[in-house]
Amino acid sequence: MQIVIVGGGAGGLELATKLGKKLGRKGKAEVVLIDRNHTHVWKPLLHEVASGSLDADLDAVTYRAHGHKHGFEFELGTLNGIDRERKVVQLSALLDEDGREVLPARERPYDTLVLAIGSVSNDFNVSGVGEHCIFLDSPVQAHRFHRRLVDGFIRLNQALKSGDSVHKLRVAIIGGGATGVELSAELYKAREWFSTYGLTAITPQHLDVTLVEAGPRLLPALSERISSGAREELEKLGVRVMVNTAVVSAGPEGLQTKGGEAIAADLMVWAAGVKAPDFLRDIEGLETNRANQLVVEPTLQVKGDGAIYALGDCAGCPMTRPDGSEGWVPPRAQSAHQMASAVAHNILASARGKPLQPFRYKDLGSLVSLSEYTAFGRLMGGLARGGINLEGKIARLAYVSLYRMHLAAIHGWPRALLLALTEKINHFVRPRFKLH
């Protein structure tokens, strides 16, 4: 039996690891993970890669080595289509930097297929966004932002040293959700580290971050209390928060708002919502929703094809919200994690001829970290059945432990703890921030 998983992200890599250990290693099935990248970086950390507080080169998991250890095969490739009748996935040709072919366009057969290819930023067709804004959809994009940030700080330091006192680095972030809020705080931390490491002319006044949100408040998915607490902390750092402000266009000099205001910016990040990749829309006659997500049955098999599962951000999984309204399971790391466990369970049940279980999403709460300054959140489940609010160091600890839990899901606890120790050692032996 060939089980092909496309996408080694928050959900896909956990699933490949589980199935590799349970089936691949024992020779009960061939488990194949396909990803367009060689390495995995947990997506909720991309804003830290963008600011430099995380060095993805040190933290990334190499798929090929991980697969070797955990009983699955890794294939480098970008999915561009499926042939459901012939049960094959279609992968694009892979070219090197000089345009020479590394791998030809090819197909890979499957008996069971799992689509876990995540999401991309939704620019809602706002003019100029694709050309002038950076998205944080992938490590490559986060690195691109980081390089521009480094160049921006170096340029600014030089200008200030030459007596240009009006010069500032202006960053505009569109989208007041978790990504926008967390990135805003990270930029102030980056400024501190760059000053510590020699760019001494740059003071807090020389960084100008504007966070633009179309809705009435930041962090609309979280409570009013958390939202106003986060806004207060950001404003203390120096962030200019603009709510009820819709951006209508982006250009080389900055943004234009619906109210006619121009926001000048040297760097712009678009973090105003996600959708599944466009090529999934109605792929091979499969049903998709408005966000291009593949609509799934309660078992997480896509509607109309029991051989294909979808999980994570690319899956449209209907759910009834606590207030009784109908909606979709939110595109979050905890959803991808829970779905990966449910799909693993169902694939194993199906291999053993047992009935499949319906997936039930459990909201375990949300945490937002303002870099090392503070964190906010609400945890549900376990002892906190009705939910408890967290703030400050405890919230930050809970936030960091989410990543530890992802590492434990893919490496096991002993190795995850060793990695945590390595990180601590790295804080002593390496620069605290990625400076290049």
* Ordered DSSP codes for 299-310: TSEETTEEEEEE
The torsion defined by the Cα of 345, 350, 352 and 355, in degrees rounded to 10, comes to 80
Q: Smallest gap, in angstroms, from Cβ of residue 205 to ligand FAD?
A: 27
Cβ-based nearer residue to ligand FAD, 9 or 176: 9
What is the CA angle 268-274-280, rounded to 5? 125
Tokens 């466990």 belong to residue: 341
Does 171 sit near ligand FAD (CB under 6 A)?
Answer: no
Q: Smallest gap, in angstroms, from Cβ of residue 428 to ligand FAD?
A: 27
Which of 4, 33, 61, 116 contacts ligand FAD by CB under 6 A? 116
Which of 20, 35, 169, 365 contacts ligand FAD by CB under 6 A? 35
Does 34 sit near ligand FAD (CB under 6 A)?
Answer: yes
Q: Residue 200: how many CB atoms within 10 A of its CB?
A: 12
The angle that helices 393-411 and 12-19 make with each other, rounded to 10 degrees, is 40
Q: Smallest gap, in angstroms, from Cβ of residue 92 to ligand FAD?
A: 8
Does 334 sit near ligand FAD (CB under 6 A)?
Answer: yes
Distances in whole angstroms, Cα of residue 95 to Cα of each of 77, 98, 305: 11, 8, 32
Does 170 sit near ligand FAD (CB under 6 A)?
Answer: no
- The residue number with the shortest CB distance to ligand FAD is 9
Task: Answer yes or no: are the C-beta atoms of 240 and 208 closer than 8 Å.
Answer: yes
How many residues at the interface with ligand FAD, by CB under 6 A? 31
Which structure tokens are listed for 48?
Answer: 């830290």
354: phi then psi, degrees, rounded to nearest 5: -100, 160
Does 117 sit near ligand FAD (CB under 6 A)?
Answer: yes
Does 47 sit near ligand FAD (CB under 6 A)?
Answer: yes
Tokens 């072919």 belong to residue: 101
Cβ-based nearer residue to ligand FAD, 73 or 313: 313
Which of 5, 10, 33, 342 contacts ligand FAD by CB under 6 A? 10
Cβ-based nearer residue to ligand FAD, 221 or 262: 221
Residues contacting residue 228 through CB under 8 Å, at least 6 positions apart: 217
Which of 178, 218, 234, 310 contacts ligand FAD by CB under 6 A? 178
Q: Smallest gap, in angstroms, from Cβ of residue 332 to ligand FAD?
A: 3
Which of 2, 37, 195, 223 contacts ligand FAD by CB under 6 A? 37
Which of 20, 24, 44, 67 contacts ligand FAD by CB under 6 A? 44
Cβ-based nearer residue to ligand FAD, 16 or 160: 16
The torsion defined by the Cα of 35, 36, 38 and 43, in degrees rounded to 10, comes to -80
Distances in whole angstroms, Cα of residue 337 to Cα of each of 12, 26, 222, 331: 9, 24, 20, 11
Which structure tokens are listed for 172?
Answer: 């505009």
Binders of ligand FAD in range 67-106 (CB under 6 A): 78-79
Q: Smallest gap, in angstroms, from Cβ of residue 259 to ligand FAD?
A: 27
Task: Answer yes or no: are the C-beta atoms of 12 and 347 closer than 8 Å.
Answer: no
Query: Considering only 4-12, 246-254, 321-329, 348-356, which stretch makes contact with ligand FAD by CB under 6 A?
Result: 4-12
Q: Where are the alpha helices (DSSP H) in 133-223?
A: 139-161, 178-196
Does 332 sit near ligand FAD (CB under 6 A)?
Answer: yes
Does 312 sit near ligand FAD (CB under 6 A)?
Answer: yes
Cβ-based nearer residue to ligand FAD, 12 or 52: 12
Does 407 sit near ligand FAD (CB under 6 A)?
Answer: no
Which of 43, 70, 378, 411 contacts ligand FAD by CB under 6 A? 43
Burial of 37 (0-12, 13-18, 19+ CB in 10 A): middle
Residue 173's beta-bridge partner residues?
A: 211, 269
Which structure tokens are listed for 407?
Answer: 């590492």
Residues found near ligand FAD in the complex (CB under 6 A): 6-12, 34-37, 40, 43-44, 46-47, 78-79, 116-118, 136, 178-179, 312-313, 331-334, 336
